[in-house]
Structure 1
Amino acid sequence: MNLWTFAKKHKGMVAFGFCTTFFVGIGQTFLVAQFSPFIQQGLSISRTDISFVYSLATFIASFNLTYIGSLLDRTSLLKYFFLVATLICAGLITLSQATNIAALFVGFYLLRGFGQVPLGLMATTVAARWFGKHRGKLLTLIGFGRSLSEGVLPLLSIVFIESFGWRNSLLGIMGVFLLVMVPVALIFIPKTPKTALYEENVKTADKEQAVWGWRKALNHKWPMLLMINNALIPFILTALFFQQDSLAQFKGWSMKTMAQSFVAFSAVHICGNIFWGPLVDKITAKKVLPFTLIPFLLGLLSLYYIDASWGAFIYMGLVGLSVGVSGIVRNAFWAEVYGILVLGKMKGMDSNVIVVGTSLAPIFYAKFLDFGAGVEEILQVFIVLTILGIGNHFFISRHYNR
């Protein structure tokens, strides 16, 4: 079954997943970063102050994710959606009314804790759990929502902020979220599958009954190594996106160019996913895993060496390619290796590690600058980390493909 035949057959699930992953952008750094300079100005705080609050809120929020992920293994999707949606709206309202550091922290905590990962877990967990050997196709199709979000939301946020101010723009985003997602949830969630629709492309039954938790993951070493490696792209991109004003200044690019380059990020992400999803279905996520960081390395090298403004588009396109394939592989991998019965828990643990990484990124970058290091040195560190990550991926893949 090709990608488009599959899309027509499961158009309801595709529509639900697309909308869900689109609005995951509400809690992502690529959107929050557009508001960051205006929040700094409005609250009269420094770059280090907002980086610290953002990092701390993200770090604390990360500890929700294992529990939130486990809810998907034992509660209805509709209840889960309304819980998450309520907390996202609370975060947007709190942030829009923030006048001090405490309120800023609460707003960031709610957005990062519930807008970044838990919303997207709904669709990706259903896809990975019930669509077997075709999960890669569905993950590709619903991933288009996230890709479109990356291209559209940064540009729209700048337009909204210039027209209505940053506080009203946050409330406007909440209104759009509710107008779209509440009907989508009420229409499509009751129609999501409750049992497997397709057979698996790998044998997982012998591992489905395992009870996984942090102690077991640490004892087995391999899942923890992979979770740490999975956090590398989010860690680096969170740092670069959140502090994109200093990056733009270093490269001599305008903030408008930086915002426009997200279109390349989104476009390549979408086009790449059309290839990666069916490939994962054909040869399994375990075999694609070692190659996911290679475009990312090329993107960082482009950022480091190319000073012309078109370099921003090359850099963003290449990292977008890696973001796309890593997301598909990560979601399919846990189902292939550890089975569907503990899928929500495994994905929640994985997300926990990723969000801890993203929580450290903004303050890591800001402190590097405060201590006198330049953007050039930071990029060198990121390039070395990516090379080490590629080696680690080959090491992990060799173990799981025995």
Structure 2
Amino acid sequence: MNIPYKWRILFTCSTVEFANAATAMVVLAVFIDPMTLTLNWSRTSISGAVAIGSVIGACMAPVTGQINDRYGPRGMLIISTVLVSVSCIVLSYVQTSVILGVALIVFRICDQGATKVLTASSVGKAFSENRGFAVSMVFLAGSLGCVIVAPGAQFIITIFSWREAWLCLGCLMFLGGTIPTIILLKSRNKNGLNNLSTGTDLTKPSAAFNRQELITAFKSVSFVYILISLFLTGMASSGVILHLMSYLVSAGFSESVSVSVLSVIAISSAVGSILWGKLADRFNVKWVCVATYVTLVLAIGIVIFPYNITFLYLMGLALGLAGVGVNTLSALLLANYYGTNILASIYGLSRTAQVMGFALGILFSGVVYDRTGAYQTAFSILLLLSVIGLLALLLAKKPKVF
């Protein structure tokens, strides 16, 4: 049976995102306490390595996007998934801070500089109808991965150790990411795909890559506002999520409750990926984006005042909805504003801004905790930044030239 190539792209990108849950913040959060206790390293050292890798990945994202626009995602996805697998295996044997730092840096470069850019933009380019639903399927797969991987990793850590957990994550990425990419995706030349819906011609362009369009988009004031909003919300969300389990435990909640909150975040992300995608197909995508930003502001507000377990679960619900909403809808907003010919390239640059925020947020919360012994000050500042990010998004109007 001749399966349309766009469905092969969707399936492959979804399996890659599922396996890429190994690099998710909610999964990394599970490892922070056991690794710092066993190896006697500070949270700043781990957060710093994650931040450095994220920054390098952010700088690489625009290049990855242009490679995808010209050559397709296959080659870069193979390289990225293999390196993540190797990094996880190295982390399972790590003994020194240098090796830890290198592994985490490579780990984050591949995640933020390649995988995240390639999966969403490839599906966004492949689908013209029901694009919101198709892109949401990719993020749904990633969210479902987090639902399973976060408690799964915690279970392995409890029964065995964090080393065995990293080893399992490495195997997951190779089997769920590398193998499907090799089997299902095809290489193509720099002219791109002619008809992704049929897969009958993999050499002729459907629409030529236009560098002038890319330059015009980069000069757009609205694009600058979008970058600012993604940077600030990225900083706010990562600064909270990576340190959330440690924060909740220090606030007096048990590890099991803290892990269950992370699971709620992952589950609500899964639900939210479908919800936001459907809403974006039916309503103005910008205002759906605004709704996700408002949800993030509310979530961080609840984090600062975790009165009881009910509030924690409400926070997890809101944080999961907001996180996946920003990720899903940013690609759809850019496609709506600037078209699909240069989507991977501009999405890559938007990922640069967002990941720079991720990196700074991770490091910021870690440094504040190491210096003050508490997270409240850091989270309060991140709340303010999320509000500013919301205001920046409201100022971003659709350009008339696209």
Normalised TM-score (structure 1): 0.86
Partner SS state of residue 72, structure 1: helix
Residues 17 and 221 of structure 1: CA distance in aligned 2, closer, same or farther (over 3 Å): same
Tell me if 1:272 matches 2:268: no
Counterpart in the other structure of 1:48: 44
Distance 1:278 1:9 in 2: 23
Given candidates 148, 171, 176, the residue that maps to 1:152 is: 148
Residue correspondence of structure 1 range 16-27 to structure 2 within 5 A: 16-27=12-23
| Offset from partner CA, 1:38-91 (integer Å, 9 cap, x none) | 322333222233222332332233222222222212224332222112221232
Partner SS state of residue 312, structure 1: helix
Shift, 1:396, TM fit:
1.3
Counterpart in the other structure of 2:201: none
Counterpart in the other structure of 1:75: 71
Counterpart in the other structure of 1:5: none
Query: Which 5+ residue runs of structure 1 have no aligned equivalent?
Result: 1-7, 199-204
Shift, 1:14, TM fit:
4.2
Counterpart in the other structure of 1:211: 212
Counterpart in the other structure of 1:257: 257
Residue correspondence of structure 1 range 80-229 to structure 2 within 5 A: 80-116=76-112, 118-190=114-186, 194-195=194-195, 197=197, 209-211=210-212, 219-229=219-229
Residues 83 and 53 of structure 1: CA distance in aligned 2, closer, same or farther (over 3 Å): closer
Query: Which 5+ residue runs of structure 2 have no aligned equivalent?
Result: 199-205
| Offset from partner CA, 1:320-375 (integer Å, 9 cap, x none) | 11122222211112222222222221111111111111111222112223443843
Matched residue count:
388
Structure 2 contact 235–382 (Cα < 8 Å) conserved: no
Tell me if 1:299 matches 2:313: no
Shift, 1:244, TM fit:
2.6
Structure 2 contact 299–316 (Cα < 8 Å) conserved: yes
Structure 1 contact 238–358 (Cα < 8 Å) conserved: yes
> Which has the higher mean CA deviation after the structures are superposed, 122-131 or 266-275?
266-275
Distance 1:104 1:20 in 2: 24
Counterpart in the other structure of 2:365: 365
Given candidates 31, 37, 61, the residue that maps to 1:35 is: 31
One-letter code aligned to 2:300 = L
Counterpart in the other structure of 2:335: 335
Q: Percent identity?
A: 16
Structure 1 contact 287–397 (Cα < 8 Å) conserved: no
Distance 2:84 2:280 in 1: 32
Residues 376 and 399 of structure 1: CA distance in aligned 2, closer, same or farther (over 3 Å): farther
One-letter code aligned to 2:224 = M
One-letter code aligned to 1:319 = L
| Offset from partner CA, 1:261-297 (integer Å, 9 cap, x none) | 1222222223233332122123342342322211112
Distance 1:77 1:352 in 2: 18
Distance 1:321 1:245 in 2: 18
Counterpart in the other structure of 2:203: none
Counterpart in the other structure of 2:290: 290
One-letter code aligned to 1:358 = F
Residue correspondence of structure 1 range 336-355 to structure 2 within 5 A: 336-355=336-355
Shift, 1:93, TM fit:
2.8
Distance 1:395 1:23 in 2: 36
Distance 1:185 1:108 in 2: 23
Partner SS state of residue 396, structure 2: helix
One-letter code aligned to 1:348 = G
One-letter code aligned to 1:368 = V
Partner SS state of residue 385, structure 2: helix
One-letter code aligned to 2:210 = Q
> Which has the higher mean CA deviation after the structures are superposed, 280-289 or 150-159?
280-289
The alignment's C-alpha RMSD in Å is 3.1
